[in-house]
Amino acid sequence: MENAIEIRHLTKDYGSFKLSDVSFCVPGGSIVGLIGENGAGKSTTIKCILNLIRRDAGEILLLGRDNIKDERLVKEDIGVVLDESTFHDTLKAPDVGKILRRVYKHWDSGLFQDYLRKFSLPADKYIKEFSRGMKMKLSIAAALSSRPKLLILDEATGGLDPVVRDEILDEFLNFIQDEDHAILISSHITSDLEKVADYVVYLHRGQVAIQGAKDELLEQYGRLVCSRADMAAVDDAFVVGRRTSQFGCEALIQNKEKFRRLYPGLTVDPVTLEEIMVFTVKGDVQS
Ligand SMILES: Nc1ncnc2c1ncn2[C@@H]1O[C@H](COP(=O)(O)OP(=O)(O)OP(=O)(O)O)[C@@H](O)[C@H]1O
């Protein structure tokens, strides 16, 4: 499988908010992280992919098939975890397994049992007694046990403690060892994506602000801390955003290697995805 998801020129206009000309791919055997500030359009993008809302323009191919028009698209091949649990409060975890066994052709009961154990999910509690994190774990266990090819997760690791998040991220990494598998995951927790994502798509105000291979993005950008005088001498073309205070300047620099060659006296440190996001959103800030 070449691309599990292909999105071309996706547009959705809510009036007060517009998702504009969003294009990106989720290649087979990879994890793509969708990041962006609150209200950037991450959930809107995912809802369009899942055809939960109608797009106004553009094209979306899921597993090579148009997500609206192509009836050969096998919905069972797609596992979905949204930020709210969809299971009824009066069920217990094993009941969920019994129901889904009848729904999914490739349902793996043994795998579901393994996940319930691994994620310490009790068999004797009703879902209404589950914490948010437990509900999330149950949704992820169910999605993986349906043996999908493509997994789509919207804010699915929020509410999970760091140890469980780590376990789940490892499961995601196992899942994509198969070149026919792929994951699209939206998250505010950019450090999670830094750990597992191969590619990052950064949405800002309904548009793709930055996208690319995660390692290349982290290579391309750097953090410069310097005096105001040094900053004044830097070509603005390198500066994505800067914070200026009475003590000096901190800036996100693009094209880091060229910058280093041009300004050997200035030190550029590595950046995190979070820093790339914050600087790009805020631009130039004086304090
Ligand atoms: N049904 C709707 N009608 C009108 N506007 C909507 C609707 N659903 C979402 N929006 C708007 O679309 C914008 C993007 O929302 P969306 O949920 O896609 O953002 P997000 O990036 O997922 O944000 P968050 O990180 O807060 O979940 C917001 O301004 C929101 O108010």
Q: Which residue from 34, 42, 48 has its CB within 8 A of the most atoms of ligand 1, so it is best to mutate?
A: 42
| Phi, psi (degrees; rounded to nearest 5) at 64 | 80, 0
Q: Is the CB of 12 under 6 A from ligand 1?
A: no
Q: Is the CB of 207 under 6 A from ligand 1?
A: no
Give, using CA atoms, the residue closest to atom 16 of ligand 1. Answer: 41
Q: Is the CB of 43 under 6 A from ligand 1?
A: yes
Q: Is the CB of 251 under 6 A from ligand 1?
A: no
ipTM above 0.85, yes or no: yes
CA of 203 to the centre of ligand 1 (A): 12
Q: Is the CB of 84 under 6 A from ligand 1?
A: no
pLDDT tens-digit map of 48-69: 999 999 999 999 999 999 888 8
Rounded CA Rg of the chain: 21
CA of 19 to the centre of ligand 1 (A): 10
- pTM, rounded to two decimals: 0.91
Q: Is the CB of 36 under 6 A from ligand 1?
A: yes
pLDDT tens-digit map of 216-274: 999 999 999 999 999 999 999 999 999 988 889 999 999 999 999 999 999 999 999 99
What DSSP string describes 211-263?
EEEHHHHHHH-EEEEE-HHHHHTS-GGGEEEEEEETTEEEEEESSHHHHHHH-
